[in-house]
Amino acid sequence: MSGEIVLLGSDDRRAHMMEIVFDQQVDAQWVSASDDLNTVAENCREAIVIVTTETFFDTDLARKCPNLKLLQRLGAGTDGFPVDELAKMNVSVANNGGGNSVAVAEHAIALMVGTYRKLQLQVESVVDRKWQGQVRHHWGPNTHELSGKTVGIVGAGNIGCQVAQRLQGWECVLLYHDIIEIPKEKSGRLNIERLPLDELLSVSDVVTLHVPHTKSTYHMISDGELGLMKSGGILINTGRGPVIDEEALIKALQAGIIAGAGLDVLEKEPPLSNNLLLDMDNVMVTPHLAGMSLEATYKSLVFGLSNAVRVVAGHEPKSVILPD
């Protein structure tokens, strides 16, 4: 099997990830993503599956790998992968099968609490040696508990359902919008109700986005959608930045159309220094690291390796992303 499974990634992650490969007893070859395309292509020439930590993939590399059948992404999003073009080359693209869903769900809830309680301002005040400073005076009347709020989950896949699971016991009313309905047994267990998007937006105190970036989801939250939200509502995004029309969000925040936002992703990353969201006291921004945990890394790689072994053995891969 040597050379049939390639793990393509950055050198700083090699030791940890190859330790997991060894633990799983999978014969996989490491290839450094920092090498030039021709070197990477030569080292991947025999690959049937490329398992990659990278967020983007060059179709020229696929063309140089005649045996390639699967590109296995270790993250949840595949918007940096030319799924349509690869499909024409008979190369499937799969994500991590929910390997980081718990980490992202926990981070989404942290952003809900952090945005409601102005945690970034509290931390900043302490770091600046001002202790409470003016945080209580300026923001006290605008802080809230998550308990008792209506949380609208947009996108009820692996991550969205993990958010719902983790909010059990928080005394929240849970709603969701998705093109696919959750099986009744599962929705009953999660105590969650399906609504059309416009209705969900109008009744939710918290709207949390867990959809991929596709042609159909680009700017799915813009002026019209923000205008439907409660004036005290907050918007959470741990999915992909382009799902939100950032200019519309900035206008809505400035005008008080919504109360705040907690964002792990932005339209342009890293953001430009003049991005107004970075200077707003009612916006909490983290640097696209919602899925960062040792546990998520382990689960994602174990899933990816098992998917690779399946394909090498002649079986169909799991968690395949269909062309848009």
Residues with active-site annotation: 240, 269, 288
CB–CB of 195/219 below 8 Å?
Answer: no
Name the CA dihedral angle for 34, 38, 44, 50, rounded to a multiple of 10 degrees. 60
If 0-12 CB within 10 Å is exposed, 13-18 middle and 19+ buried, where does residue 306 land?
Answer: middle
Distance (Å, whole) CA 85 – CA 81: 9
d(CA 20, CA 38): 27
- Residue recorded with tokens 């296995």: 72
Strand bridging mode 5-9 / 206-209 = unpaired
CA 55, CA 85: separation in Å to the nearest integer?
A: 16
